[in-house]
Structure formats: structure tokens, C-alpha cells
A and B are shown apart, each in its own frame.
Chain A
Amino acid sequence: MNTQVRKLFFVLVGLFVALIVMTTYWLWKAPDLEARQGNPQLIVQQLTIDRGSIVASDGRTPFARNQKVRKKQLGSTWYLRTYPTDELAARPVGYSTIERSRTGLEESMNDYLTGSNANLDTLFNNTLDKLRGITQRGNDVITTIDAKAQRTAQDALAGHCGGAVALDPKTGQVLVWASQPTYDPNLVEGHFNQIQRNAAGAPCTPAAPLLDRISQGLFIPGSTFKVVTATAALESGKVTPSTTFDDPGYCIEYGKKVLNFADQSGPEVFGTVTFAEALENSINAVFCEVGKRFGARAIIDQAKKFGFYEKPPIQLPSDEISVSGLYQNGHLYDPKDPNAVDPGRLAFGQERLLVTPLQMALVAAAVANDGTIMQPTLVDRVVDPDGKVIQRSEPDTWKQPMKPQTAAELTAMMTAVVQGGTGVAAQIPGVQVAGKTGTAETGRTGENDTWFIAFAPAENPQVAVAVALSNQSGTGGATAAPIAKEIIEALLR
């Protein structure tokens, strides 16, 4: 019998080894399981971490910080999120909750905020803290958002559906990131339905208060896209600002007349104009001719040099960033055959173009920064609990869509737009503003997408801005330009 007893022992040992293998297998699967619905592990563990704050660029105004809650039954302290500035920086900060997970910077910077970033120093300290039973503390994220200008922008946008974004064209630092209708992130946990009710008065349906209209919202660019077309034309060397065009008030495409923008007296007619004057007065007929001359391919290629057809590299969750470009049936559309696209309408920003305010701000920034787009950033630095900077964002080139010479020419043309063209509403005493208006037709009267993209001061740009509004009956010059002006003033002050 002893042989069998020995064998039985080894059978049992075999079974126990299988058990350990299975247990180890679940450890290996942990990253996959953590994301599963109903798994409290990660969420509850992170609640015991003293999550870092998200702060304005002044390093003081907190957009998001923690509230200590002692859970008697658990015998432990939980850190719940609170947003002292309410809706002010709901975008891009986002929220971090138990019920609805996370969005915005709260999601994309989560590793830093919880101190689980792959920084050896942080990991080492956290392991020590864990062993000593000390609460794990996360790192603070200092954003580039200017709290005062952000307030100005949110107030200026109030009552509209739209977004405004401003950045420093030389560094790519985002200074203002405003979106309306907005929401109070403090309501997300427990009062989620209240958010929809609060946004019910917004002049757009659905109100979509949670939508980040800067990086996610898609608008028709209208005449602001003429800056892209003008870049393509000037870069070719075949057109200069002083090249003359004849404007009959319309442009003929596929045997049909495409009319200029119409006021009460009917479509405007300018006669013989220079290319600079065509931009200043936003003459569709001229840009339609330019589009036909250069073709859709050239314009799309130029747009790609500006970053269209890809997600701008900014610190937001990938699913909160939309791609700018031509769209067909709700999908991004990059035509193989350029003849499938109407070049004339494309040239003045109609066709099937859809863009984000962020992308158009980057177009303005390119002109402002001698033809170079810096990588946009929402985060200035990450600071550990001891005050040591563990990450600082350095200016980095993203795109170079044009030569400095072209940028200088465009700066002059866009300055004229504000001085005597469609953008006079953005004039600021003592500051040269360069800009471009846009009034995009959606096919429904009184529901235009209106725009203003600009930068200032024109001779030494410090701010590039884009404002987009939907469901407007007025023009971009009348609706969006004054908002852009307010933001620029707030930032240059």
C-alpha cells in the first residue's frame, strides 16, 4: 500500500501546484480585469490615495482637489474629488468619480495624479509609504490655463453653444479652453441628471453639456479655412498678396453660379481686387477661382500640413479629441480621387469640411509663429508632494505648414481683415490684431456656424485664438470676433 500512499501524495501536490498556477494566472490577467465592469479593486484602491490637485497656471487656483472623507465602517480614509471653481474649468479638467469613471485631464493625467506614474523615484517612495502604512500621495498637475481669462471666455460664451480656445503660439501652451453649455463637475457624482436639466436652456439640441467643444466639437470652418487655401496659393509661388483677380460676384462651378456672401442688397460684387483684398473682404468668388486653379488635392495636402486628418497631440484622452478634415456619412473622408471633391467650395471652407476649434487655433498659431505650429499643451508641469518638479513640458515643434515668408504675408493680410475688413469688431486700441472671420452655412437659415480666428499683437504674437459658435443668425465678424477680442484683451492685460 505504501507505493500508493506516496503516489497519492504526489497527485495532491500536483493539484496544489495547478492551484498556484491558476492564482498566478489571475495576477497576470490583473491589468485586463481591472477595467471590467463591477470590479471595485482599482476604484476603491485609488480612493485611498491622496490624489494630486489640478491647478491653474498661477500655481494657486485649484480646479480640482481632494476632500477627506472618513469611512467609519471601513476604518479607512477615502479621498473624494471636489471642484472649487465649479464649471469654470470643467473642460479640460474633466472629472474623476466612482460612478462615472474619469474624463479630461483627470483621466489622461491619472497616473501622475495617483502617483502611479512610471517614475522610479515616485514608485520607490510609494512602495515605502505603503510599507509604512502612510497614505499614498499623488502629484499635482499645474495646467497652463489662465484662470482669469478662462472666466472671461466662459462668461463671454454664456448663452451660446460653442467654444473658445487661446494659446501661446510660441510655446503651444493653452491659455484658455472654454466650452458652452458647460456643467458643474461636482454634480457628476450623484446628481448626474441635474447636469442635463441645467443645460436645458442652451440654444442648441442636444445641449450636450459634457461635450468638449474645443477638441471634440466639429464645426464647418467656412471662410476661416481661406487661410489654409491662401497658404497653399502663396506657398506655390504662383500667387502673391498683390496678384489681381476679377470678382464678378460669383464663380462658375460645374456650370452653376456660386454666389458671394449676400447682404440686404444681394450678393456683393467687388470687381478687380488683389489677393490680399480678397481675404480682407472674404470674397468667395476669388477663393473659388483659386481653388479651381490649384485643385482639391493641393488644398487638402496643405490642410494636412496644418495637422488636419490627425489628432492634435494634446494631453487629453484620445476619445475626447476629434480629427479635422472632410467628412462623409459621419466618417472622416480622405478622397482618393480629388475630382470627388468640389475644389471651389472647399477653398472657402464649405464642401464637407468639419473642424475643431483647437485645429483652427493651431492654424492661426502657425501664421503667428513664422509658419511653425508648436505642440499644444495643457500641462505646464507636474510637481510631487515635496514640491519637486518631476515633469515639465518643453516647447516642441509639431508642424511646419509654411515658410516664414508666407507667414509674414498672411500676417499682413489678416491684419488688414481686422483693420478694415470683415473683422473690425476685434480691434483693440493700441494692439494690432490679425484675424479672419468665418460664417459657415449649415443649410438652415439662421443656424450658421460662425467663427473668428486671430492672433495678437500682430508684430510679436503672444496669443492665438479661435472662437466657434453654432446656431447663429449673424456673421462671424459680428458674433465671434467680439468674444475673441475680449479673450485677447484679458490675456494681454
Chain B
Amino acid sequence: MTLRNRELVNLLLVGLLTAAGFTAVYIARQDVVSAGSLSYAAFFLAVFVAAHVILRFALPTADPFLLPLGGLLTAVGLTMIYRIDPDLALRQGLWVVVGLAAFALLVAFLRDYRLLDRYKYILGLTAIFLLALPAVPGLGRTINGANLWVGVGGLVFQPGEFAKVLLVIFLAGYLRDNREMLSMGTGRFGMPSLKHFGPLLVIWGGAMLVLFQTNDLGGGLLYFSIFLAMLWVATARWQYVVVGLGLFAAGAYALYHVTPHVRERVSIWLDCSWTFSSACPVYDQGYQLAQSIYAISGGGFFGQGLGRGVLLTAEGNTYIPYLETDFIYAGIAQELGLAGAAGLVLVYVVFCYRGFKIALQASDGFSKLLAVGLTAAIGIQAFIIMGGVSGLIPLTGITLPFVSYGGSSVVANFAILALLLMISDRVNRERS
């Protein structure tokens, strides 16, 4: 079977699963859900088949699993959002269309992704500019204590999601150029000279500063982790990881004492996680996390069933605020149980496996680092938010890639998917 036929079969399987999911929700919630909304599933499949057709022409030898995996994650998210609010699912569906359009445009017009290497500094600066946008008076919108949205007219978007992709491209190009110098190291502690390390630190420091300013802790943690992962892959020097983690710990400690927002998040985590002490402020700031943990624990091994879990109050609100975005993992654990949650995590593991495999097979440094960075971005982001809502690590608000409701997130993740497929196609063409 050719790679593309395999992809089509996988996509059809995902389509079947989506149809089953939507039907399950429909059966459980007939009173609220219209029969017409069942067509979302068919529409969803059509959009992904269209993306598949584009790949057939543009990237015939690309990895056959990544698109179906992205489709599966999107389907799980869409089903869950559909279960919470069918209208929201329709809007998410439209965002998926926009995302796949961006995907198609990238594949069609960026014939060679290595061109990006040439513009790495511009892209890096654009990333910082995007991160700084929400801080611009009149543009920024504050939602849930973090000001990382930008509103232009009626359209609100999260520039950080796009900055993430651009930062990875910049890091891949920059680290490829300087990896020899960075990994050699001089001086007593084997640290490289400031000349090579400097620009990295500057870009990095700028990004971090902007992040602290916008109170986006999840983003800060995510970018720092991606940075460390790529630096380590590029240089093979664990000293960077140690120093990086040390720096991060020091920064976090300082932040803990300076920002009440951070202090609160940490104390909620300490109260709620593991012990779930009675101090876990059930009705105050810890309410969100407490409700999330209740939902996860109530799911049992196989869940309450799609549309049958305890997620909505009698008034139709969600028990967990931001259930459809940051906390969607808790909803999945509640309705699909430990089996469903573990399955979801497994999909991310397989996604990372395919992404890293591309990196392993890539012949040039830029492709390798780009594939690693993009894959790590998905994997680490998924871990940070799922770890946060389950109380494993302090909660920081970021989206669950492909699954959470949110236009910016969907579009950015499909851009990542397009880039990975482009690298994969090139790698496979070179190998054959």
C-alpha cells in the first residue's frame, strides 16, 4: 500500500470514530442537540479528506500517520466541545476549516521550507513582536488573569500560539549555525563564549520578559522547555539543561515572591495535589482545579459515557470554568474514563514518535532541529496543560494542542503539522 493510501485508510478510521462519538453524544442529549448537528462529523471528514488530496499532489511521500493523528486529536476535541455546546462545536469546526486552509496554503506555496532558514532573524523578531502585542494598550485583552489576547475589531486571537512556531524556526536555524561553537565550549565550566551564546540569550530574555509582563506562565514554561530541548539536541551538552533548569528554578522562585498570581497558583497546587487537603479552597480560587479533579476522579475506568457525565449544571453552565479550552482533559477523563484519557495521551506519544522519527531520518541539521522543535512543542504543551488540570504540576493556562477549543491554537497547530509533513516528504524523497 502506498503511503497516501495508508493515510486515507487511517483517516477513514478516524472518520468512523468521529461519527460514533457524535452519535453517542446525540443519543445522550437528544433534547438539546439537533439531528442536523450530526452532519458536523461528515463535514469534518470531508475537510480532512480534502487535506489528504492536497498531500497526494504536493507531498506524496510524507508520513502517513501525522495527518490522521492530528485528525484524531481534533475529532476528540470537537466531539467533547459538541457535547458541551453544539454551537461552540460549529465554530470550532469553522476554525478547523481555517486551520486546514492555512495548512493547504503552506504546503502549496512554501515549496521548500528551508527558505525559512534565511529569514530566521526576521522570524525571531516577529515572534517577539507578536508576544509583545497583547501588552500594547488598546489592543490587548485580558481573559482569566492573563493578558495574551489581541482584539482587532470583532476578532480576538492569541498571537503567542503563532510566536511559538516562529520561535522554533528561529531556534532551529540559529542552533544549526552555531551548534559547533556552542557545543565546544571554552573556559573553566565549558561554557561557550558570549559571542555565540549572546544573541540566543537576548532573544530568549526578550521573550521571557514579555511573557512575565503578560502573566502567561504556561507560555513561559512551554517556550523555555522547547528552548532547552532544542539546545540539548543541538549541542549534546547536559550542562545546558542543568544550568537552564537552575535558571528557571531561580526565576520561578523570584517570581513566586514578586507576583501574587504565581504565589496563588503554587499554593493552590500544594493544597489540591496528592493530599487534596480540606484547605484546597473549594469555593475560592482553587474551585477550578478542585472541580477538575472531581471530574477526573468521577470518571472511573471507562467513564460516564459521552454526554452522560457530570459536566453541566442545571442552568447549562459547566462545573469547571474553561472546560472547553484549558480543562478539556478533565472532561475527557470524566466521560471516557481512564481508558479514554490514557488513549488520548497515547495518541500524543505516537505523534511525538512519528515527529522524532522524521528528525532522526533528516540529513541536514536545520530539518532535524526543526522537526524536533515542532514535535517537542506539541508534546510539551500537551503535558503542561494535562499535568496542570490533573494536579501533577502547578496549573498554567495553555491549550491542549488540536483538542482545545480556540481558533489561534487550531491554526497554529495545523501550521506545525504542515511543516512536519514537508520535512517528512523531503526526507523520504532523499532516502528513496
Contacts and interface: CB of A to CB of B under 8 A. Distances in A.
B412 interface: no
A24 B236 contact: no
B387 to A, nearest CB: 6
Interface of B: 27-33, 229, 232-234, 236, 274, 276, 278, 282-283, 287, 290-291, 293-301, 304-305, 307-308, 310, 312-316, 319, 333, 338, 341-342, 345, 348-349, 352-353, 356, 359-360, 365, 368-369, 372, 376, 379-380, 383, 386-387, 390-392
Contact of B390 (A2, A22, A70): A22
Contacts of B383: 12, 15-16, 19
A23 interface: yes
B351 to A, nearest CB: 10
Contacts, number: 149
A4 B232 contact: yes
Interface string A257-270: 00000000000000
A37 interface: yes
Given A33-B293, A40-B310, A6 B360 contact: yes
A30 B229 contact: no
B338 A23 contact: yes
B387 A1 contact: no
Contacts of A20: 338, 341-342, 345
Contact of B233 (A1, A30, A42, A44): A1
Among B27, B33, B276, B298, chain A packs the most CB atoms within 10 A around the CB of: B298
B390 A23 contact: yes
A75 B33 contact: yes
Given A9-B353, A29-B276, A3 B304 contact: no
Interface in A13-53: 13, 15-16, 18-20, 22-27, 29-30, 32-34, 36-42, 44-45
Contacts of B312: 73-74
A130 B300 CA distance: 14
Contacts of B376: 8, 12
Contacts of A30: 297-298, 300
A5 interface: yes
Chain A residues touching B, majority SS: helix
Given A8-B229, A30-B300, A33-B276, A40 B294 contact: yes
B352 A19 contact: no
Interface of A: 1-6, 8-9, 12-13, 15-16, 18-20, 22-27, 29-30, 32-34, 36-42, 44-45, 70-76, 130, 133
B297 A8 contact: no
B236 A29 contact: no
Contacts of B392: 18-19, 22
Contact of A36 (B294, B356, B360): B294
B83 to A, nearest CB: 10
B28 A75 contact: yes
Contact of A38 (B232, B283, B315): B283
Given A38-B282, A39-B294, A5 B356 contact: yes
